[in-house]
Structure 1
């Protein structure tokens, strides 16, 4: 054998040993095999006659055959009282018994187009899909719907995804003559929060859940962290301190300093926790103010963003901070965005939450300009925020019911800090007997270089739904999921395996560093110590409300 072959053989043997030690069984190859197609037993236009469905008083207002679409399907619109709008798409010829529900991002208030995924049968045709607007319609840039409407708030906080699951399954039963064989939920951001919330509070709604970049610490995230990001980068005159123009130079300096921290020079930072970088390295010469360097004031702001919010006594107010490598994602998130009237996304989120959502109706509210970053303000946000938080560590009923959970997060997420997800997963693992036991039903995947729910400076695509279906239906637990980057023509320019946390991908020494097949799982460089000590840690023990 050549040296390269010996090296590759050794790497594969080490990888196999690591998978065995952590209890990560390697599944058989191949996609999940769906059952035979289930034909509808009703006509599509009969569905509006349904109402008052058990568990969720439901009204179907429109049902229309889309015979020019692929696949042909029955398009359904309706609402669950009082105002949870929803859409369903029910395949007419290729349905095999799976229902997939998507979550809703941001403050929701709208339903985006529902794609049909490929879960193993005819591309896109074997799954019925659904989504909800979370109980309100957003108009413009202000979320006034929540100012004095507790029912709308509760729908958004926790009720809407659940009642849609009840209504959708009953409509599917009426349309096809049988309930769905398997039900899945998949979403990111606020939708990721909804996924965790469903596992925690409604553990029988779904067999499998994908929760990407979950905004599970909702109250502190929208009421403290987002406002803090905006205020930290805003001067007294209202102008941004760091602008979009400085971000490329800062990002290039960070990657140059930390690229090799994972042992491979490949233009990406796999784990920002190994990065050691001080923005003073790109500080301008005295008197200079150029986009390729930072002024002393900009250096101070960058340091603060990497450190995260603290109260005047130095106690953390949120379990997260900006990670090294996330800098390009600050554009529009922390720096002003033309699409939001010249404000940043963080400022828009924080101001709307503080004005209209974050405090009990009838009590004094706040705003981005008024909020103070103190323990008192954090505690003031708890009364209403706990209704939407998805922080419970008790997923025992979901686990006992056979539920499977895939969490994932981009390491370069500029909006929802990956540290918060790592904090939750390690707490969950401790509650459930450690990583090995927890990974029997709940796994976390940390995607290098990815921004918020997609995009990124290297890897930009990650979708674990296919692996979730295989886990639920064939007990093929995901031992790796591929993340991709694409070139200008749409071709895959780089692929990397993402292994269940805390494993990491390690180059085996042979072949292209842009091909996933040349990477194997390796143990973490240090024991996972991801629990963040912060003022709101006790929120993990507070139960949230459950809708009837």
Structure 2
């Protein structure tokens, strides 16, 4: 445990707390209790807002493309909104820093606490709603269920990577802000309800999924349930892979009338459609049913030559899907699974974008390039020309940040021994964090953590891109699965899923290594599939 977290926890627990009332299902709270939190005294923390929301409306998440959060407003029931900042300071770069947070405390509390993960490079405080961080999910958000929910900005005020110029801000983004906000949120919960949370969960997608894994690995005594969706758990190397992908596609990117290469046109939509259809032709029926879903994704033996693209485009596609390598052929970042979601908008948004100018808008460039130069490379090199990135000599410059940032621990005994339950969800067609890398980490964790099956499950979603989208059954509810595991001892072996890509249909998502296999009956219904 870090010294900063120890100080925060000591101060938080020092606050006087009345004896907890007998718990009868919901812990009630009032506007008066809420407003009193404006005067809460917690070390190194300033409370800037304590306001009662009688109508319970929560605004949509403006950053949902990065967080997977709900993009529209939600009526969540009466609740208290507390906002504040921990550790306000001026950095060595003369910029203001501190960890801002938002905590929402429902009028009828269910004695549970949820930490909501962020996205991108953070730098914003999303509405603390606790929606399932898969954009298509229609499941009830945590706040509406009665959870106390907190969100934060990761220790810097803008969604830009230049915080990497300050060493303290690097540590806050990597893991320290999670510990700080957890301590402060739990203190405010105790002061509001005069009771402790019975369960503390962390749930996020993308960087928020990485934060969820960090919560389990670095703060195993603070959380007893984690849902990590499409987690960027090896972000330092994924950032290098983004540059690798761009290099490969720029080799074949055609020029416009002004003589500028256009990244978006390296593969046209027609090209991606051809690849998707060819993958389906090769692998769709391997799960027992030809239905547009590749449940047997591990046995898919598609090769890019099967798509009928030009020789140059085939070579570029193969180089990308084989994963980033150094000049000796050593693997820098994992390869990728071929899947039907390659022609989805979410895949193009990350790898290629749609800009027809010399300025690419692929997220691999707009997000990845700045993050690599400012944060992942040590020291920061903001003027680095990534078109000249040397995968032999420049890749090791990300190692120092990787040691504090990446959630790669494979012995999770401390979390398990504290009663923790761990659920990972990943889209097979995620274009920024490889599902193959996630699969390999999960296998290593099962090997290195005794009795891993007693506390961990992984669900892979065929066709799904980053935090939802694609030709996928991407409407599902892992939070209820986690609740049933903790409250009733029912480990999730399958999660019912639906999706706009397949109207009227349902499908089980199966706990790895099992996959949904058709056994007969109506192929539109989940009960016609078993996990085997």
CA contact (8 A) 2:520 2:528 kept: yes
Q: Report matched runs for 1:159-170 at 5 Å.
A: 159-170=176-187
1:390-409: per-residue Cα shift (whole Å, max 9, x none)? 11112111111111111111
CA contact (8 A) 1:104 1:133 kept: yes
Shift of 1:379: 2.1
Match of 2:53 among 55, 59, 66: 66
Match of 1:101 among 115, 134, 139: 115
The 1:116/1:106 distance shift into structure 2, 3 A limit, reads: closer
For 1:503, the equivalent position in structure 2 comes to 514
For 1:315, the equivalent position in structure 2 comes to 330
CA contact (8 A) 1:411 1:418 kept: yes
Q: Report matched runs for 1:70-89 at 5 Å.
A: 70-82=76-88, 83-89=98-104
The 1:245/1:52 distance shift into structure 2, 3 A limit, reads: same
The 1:517/1:501 distance shift into structure 2, 3 A limit, reads: same
CA contact (8 A) 1:254 1:324 kept: yes
Q: Report matched runs for 1:522-537 at 5 Å.
A: 522=532
Match of 2:237 among 210, 217, 220: 220
For 2:299, the equivalent position in structure 1 comes to 274
CA contact (8 A) 1:91 1:127 kept: yes
For 1:261, the equivalent position in structure 2 comes to 286
- Aligned-partner Cα distance in 2 for 1:133–1:91: 22
1:156-177: per-residue Cα shift (whole Å, max 9, x none)? 1111122111111100100111
For 1:431, the equivalent position in structure 2 comes to 448
Shift of 1:263: 2.2
SS at match of 1:302: helix
- Aligned-partner Cα distance in 1 for 2:231–2:518: 29
Match of 1:493 among 491, 494, 504: 504
Q: Report matched runs for 1:223-238 at 5 Å.
A: 224-235=240-251, 237-238=260-261
The 1:231/1:362 distance shift into structure 2, 3 A limit, reads: closer
CA contact (8 A) 1:117 1:127 kept: no
Q: Which moved more, 1:188-197 or 1:108-117?
A: 108-117
Shift of 1:122: 11
The 1:219/1:367 distance shift into structure 2, 3 A limit, reads: farther
CA contact (8 A) 1:271 1:411 kept: no
Shift of 1:348: 2.2
The 1:362/1:481 distance shift into structure 2, 3 A limit, reads: closer
- Aligned-partner Cα distance in 1 for 2:427–2:145: 29
1:329-349: per-residue Cα shift (whole Å, max 9, x none)? 431111124599632111223
For 1:20, the equivalent position in structure 2 comes to none
The 1:58/1:337 distance shift into structure 2, 3 A limit, reads: farther
Shift of 1:245: 4.4
Shift of 1:219: 1.0
Structure-2-length-normalised TM-score: 0.82
Q: Where does the alignment leave 5 or more consecutive residues of structure 2 unmatched?
A: 1-22, 57-75, 89-97, 133-138, 254-259
Q: Which moved more, 1:243-252 or 1:306-315?
A: 243-252
Shift of 1:315: 1.4
Match of 1:48 among 38, 51, 61: 38
The 1:74/1:338 distance shift into structure 2, 3 A limit, reads: farther
- Aligned-partner Cα distance in 2 for 1:120–1:137: 29
For 2:466, the equivalent position in structure 1 comes to 452
Shift of 1:279: 3.0
- Aligned-partner Cα distance in 2 for 1:174–1:180: 12
The 1:282/1:325 distance shift into structure 2, 3 A limit, reads: same
- Aligned-partner Cα distance in 2 for 1:314–1:466: 44
**Count of aligned pairs between the two proteins:** 463
Q: Report matched runs for 1:139-288 at 5 Å.
A: 142-146=160-164, 148-222=165-239, 224-235=240-251, 237-240=260-263, 241-283=266-308
1:436-484: per-residue Cα shift (whole Å, max 9, x none)? x211011111122211111121322233111111112222111211221
Q: Which moved more, 1:248-257 or 1:110-119?
A: 110-119
| 1:344 correspondence with 2:354 | no
Q: Where does the alignment leave 5 or more consecutive residues of structure 1 unmatched?
A: 1-33, 284-293, 523-548
For 2:256, the equivalent position in structure 1 comes to none
SS at match of 1:331: helix
For 1:520, the equivalent position in structure 2 comes to 530
Match of 1:477 among 476, 491, 494: 491
The 1:379/1:121 distance shift into structure 2, 3 A limit, reads: closer
- Aligned-partner Cα distance in 2 for 1:466–1:102: 16
1:366-418: per-residue Cα shift (whole Å, max 9, x none)? 442231122x3332210122110111112111111111111111112111110
- Aligned-partner Cα distance in 2 for 1:331–1:121: 29
The 1:326/1:364 distance shift into structure 2, 3 A limit, reads: same
- Aligned-partner Cα distance in 2 for 1:172–1:131: 14
- Aligned-partner Cα distance in 2 for 1:307–1:35: 55
Shift of 1:80: 1.2
For 1:137, the equivalent position in structure 2 comes to 157
CA contact (8 A) 1:358 1:381 kept: yes
1:250-303: per-residue Cα shift (whole Å, max 9, x none)? 2122212221122211112113332233333343xxxxxxxxxx3322121112
For 1:461, the equivalent position in structure 2 comes to 475
For 2:431, the equivalent position in structure 1 comes to 414
For 2:26, the equivalent position in structure 1 comes to 37
For 1:525, the equivalent position in structure 2 comes to none
- Aligned-partner Cα distance in 2 for 1:37–1:67: 18
- Aligned-partner Cα distance in 2 for 1:37–1:459: 34
